Amino acid sequence: MEAEDKSGEQLRGQSSATGMGPSLSQESSAEEGLPPEWNRQRAMTRKVLIAILLFGLLLGSSLLWVYIFRNCGPRSCETPVCLDLLAHYLTSGNTSVAPCNDFFSFACEKTKGTSNSLRALAEENKSRLQRLLEAPGSWHPGFGEEKAFQFYNSCMDTDAIEAAGVGPIREVIEELGGWNISGNWTSLDFNRTLRLLMSQYGYFPFFRAYLQPHPVLPHTPVIQIDQPEFDIPLKQEHEQKIYAQIVREYLSYLNRLGTLLGGDPSKVQQHASLSISITSRLFQFLRPLEHHQTQDKLFHMVTIDQLQEMAPAIDWLSCLQATFTPMSLSPSQPLMVHDLDYLRNMSQLVEELLLSHRDFLQSHMILGLVGTLSPALDSKFQEARRELSQKLRELTERPPMPAHPQWMKCVEETGAFFEPTLAAMFVRDAFGLSTQSAAMKLFTEIKDALIARLKKLPWISEETRKEALKRVTQLQVEMGAPQWAWKSDMARQEYSDIQLGPSFLQSVLSCVRSLWARNIRSFLQPFPHHRWRVPPWEANAYYSIPDHVVVFPAGLLQPPFFHPEYPSAVNFGAAGVIMAHELLHIFYQFLLPGGCPACDTNALKEVLLCLERHYAALPLPSRASFNSSHTLLENAADVGGLAIAFQAYSKRLLQYHGETTLPSQGLSPQQLFFRSYAQVMCRELSTQDPQDTHSPPSLRVHGALSNTPAFARHFHCPRGTLLNPSIRCQLW
């Protein structure tokens, strides 16, 4: 014990000598020995220092966050194209509406009516073509391009069309043998007249005939025979009263046509009445599509010989040979027919009329031809046609058609007859290679997001998943325009078979024959690539099942849906969702009954039923109606397309910095994404076609957004609001 005490004293002495200072217990005891005032001052000083330190930390962190936000957060896009887009958004949408309750109105409602983005874009594309067609010195003399400009100018020369009056159409009637209503009439052979109407005027009074890809061999053409396109909107479901009113209006129109052509009013009345009777009887021969579906036979393959036996009034071989020259047809030529019963009954009616009312049959064909050619005639014929259209739309409770200015009608006509020329001009002016490259990059990111989702779908079996991934990787994409449209010589293509003048009507008829012949030649040539269904300036994407190709025309990839300088949120939310929607068309068969036998059918049925009920529960605008089962496939593509595009956009935000947003909108990039999606769907609610497989526009917005949890999160929607429901359905 003594040794320990001594060693302890030695250690304490060393400690004091080396300056290590007192131990904690000694220090505490020293503080306790200080006066109380010193202790209080010391504690106060310590608190002040701590407060200053905390304030400094808060101030520093705030400045750091401001720096990060200003330098790393979304910047305002101030480029001219962004400012134009901002102006577009400011004139479209009602921001006073709560977005969580009615995002369609928030994005689409204007002071007067509702914005229609697709129609506005289509009109802007036509306006661009107008500027190109009217630009001085923009065409090359001596080439086919010159004919396109000459045709457009002759269409715009309304003074010359008015001066020609009824002379040009009377010449056509005389070429067809005349008629009993006015002038001399030569009783020509019925099939000769029908042959002329079909081959020289592109008019089919009793049936339609056109080339289609073979249903089994898609690159082999086949002639398809269908019912005619009736000039009046008769339908089986029309009530007797409405049906009678439609017939009266059309009878009045035919009387007006006959009178304009110089016919005796009493004779005109008689011939017009029988023409209406012929149309009504032909209409009664039709069978609705559902009738063919119940028989599990949408079309029949027959030879020309077989059809000749079934419908002998028509000389099928001579009429079809004249129409489809240079095809070489024989009696054994296969045809695709949708409604054999209609053709049998039509033939019997023609035979009856040839025996008793041959002159009335001639008048029926000529009145129908004049009606179809009225856009190429003077204003009296055009006005008669316009008034008939308006009255028939009123009777069938369809919205009135907007009046189109002359330049727009002339652009449409020129585009129809000279598509190769206008396609090359449009692509060169509106969709350069850099824009095409940016669009392809966007499509690749959308496709990658789809592939990632396919790998995680719970209702797809491994076998089906492999098949689905294979279909995506083998898919072809055509962006902007067909390959030939990028070649400068296409704008100068020769149209040697087109003879313009002396009247505008004769120019139109020459163009009709040229276009028909070009279509036939295109079907006869080996064509390894996909044939576009729409011209490049159209705002309409589609997926072709036979060619397994998805098409995005240049006319769709324009502001306000796409521009390389836009914030990514806009391009992904608008064009990106459209791309994802079309990609999902590849898998429509999986969603049909029995279309995916290896899938978890119970899980698939459950989510499809959920989706159907979800849309059926959404509030509809007044006077709108739809069948949620009829629109189910398109609803699934809307919901899935939005989810895929948002996933691709979220990945873009993680990989790339420098995202921008629109100024003075107060929208985050994610909010701008959803705003851009809704902008695509903006359309007047009253324009919905009952046969449209898409839901009404407000439901296309609310249905997809309410099934997207990210929307409710980024717009801070309270639980239970329309766009933040308790139950969601996620198929893709």
User: Is residue 383 domain-resident?
Assistant: no
Contact 337, 320 (CB under 8 A): no
Question: Mean pLDDT score of the chain, rounded to an integer?
Answer: 87
* 157 belongs to the catalytic site: no
In a shared domain, residues 622 and 652: yes
What CATH number has the domain bearing residue 331? Answer: 1.10.1380.10
Pair (217, 177) in one structural domain: yes
Residues 511, 584 within the same domain: no
Do 144 and 183 fall into the same domain?
Answer: no
Q: What CATH number corresponds to the domain at position 540? A: 3.40.390.10
Q: Is residue 78 part of a domain?
A: no
Least confident residue range of 384-393, 559-568, 616-625? 616-625
* 538 or 338: which leads in pLDDT: 538
User: What is the DSSP annotation of 273-328?
Assistant: HHHHHHHHHHHHT---HHHHHHTT-S-EEEEHHHHHHHSTTS-HHHHHHHHSTTS-
**Which one from 231, 445, 638, 659 is the annotated catalytic residue?**
638
Q: 231, 445, 582, 612: which is the annotated catalytic residue?
A: 582
pLDDT, residue 54, reads 65
- Residue 295, pLDDT > 70, answer no
Residue 669 lies in a domain: yes
Q: What confidence score (pLDDT) does residue 163 get?
A: 97
Question: What pLDDT, in 10s, does the model give residues 458-472?
Answer: 999 999 999 999 999
Q: Which pLDDT score is estimated for 546?
A: 84
pLDDT tens, 529-583?
Answer: 788 999 999 999 999 998 899 999 999 999 999 999 999 999 999 999 999 999 9
Give the rounded percent of residues in the chain with a pLDDT score beyond 70. 85
Amino acid 630: pLDDT? 85
Whether the predicted pLDDT of 15 surpasses 50: no
What per-residue confidence (pLDDT) applies to 72?
55
Residues 215 and 297 in one domain: yes
Residues 179, 247, single domain; the answer is yes
pLDDT at 610: 95
Assess whether pLDDT exceeds 60 at residue 723: yes
172 and 210 fall within a common domain: yes
pLDDT, residue 214, reads 84
Is residue 582 among the annotated active site residues? yes
The top-scoring range by mean pLDDT among 134-143, 551-560, 586-595 is: 551-560
Q: Are residues 616 and 669 in the same domain?
A: yes
| Token pair in block for residue 545 | 């099942």
- Output the pLDDT for position 277: 94
- Number of domains composing the chain: 3
Residue 662 or 546, more confident: 662
Burial group, residue 249, by CB count within 10 angstroms (0-12, 13-18, 19+): middle
* 403 secondary structure, DSSP code: P
User: Highest-confidence range of 178-192, 337-351, 488-502, by mean pLDDT?
Assistant: 337-351
In a domain, 23, yes or no: no
Pairwise CA distance, residues 238 & 222, whole Å? 34
Considering the domain boundaries, does residue 57 fall inside one? no
Instruction: Quote the CA–CA distance of 366 and 143 in Å, as a whole number.
Output: 36
Band (pLDDT 50/70/90 cuts) for residue 182 is confident
> Domain residues for 520?
117-154+393-429+486-528
Res. 110: pLDDT tops 90: no
User: Based on the domain organization, do 555 and 631 belong to the same domain?
Assistant: yes
Is 33 within a domain? no
Is 244 in the same domain as 303?
yes
Residue 15 covered by a domain: no
What confidence tier does 621 reach under pLDDT thresholds 50, 70, 90? confident
Same domain assignment for residues 367 and 292: yes
Tell me, yes or no, whether 130 and 216 share the same domain. no
CA 565, CA 574: separation in Å to the nearest integer?
14
Sequential DSSP letters for 254-280: HHHHHHHTT--HHHHHHHHHHHHHHHH
In a domain? residue 388 = no
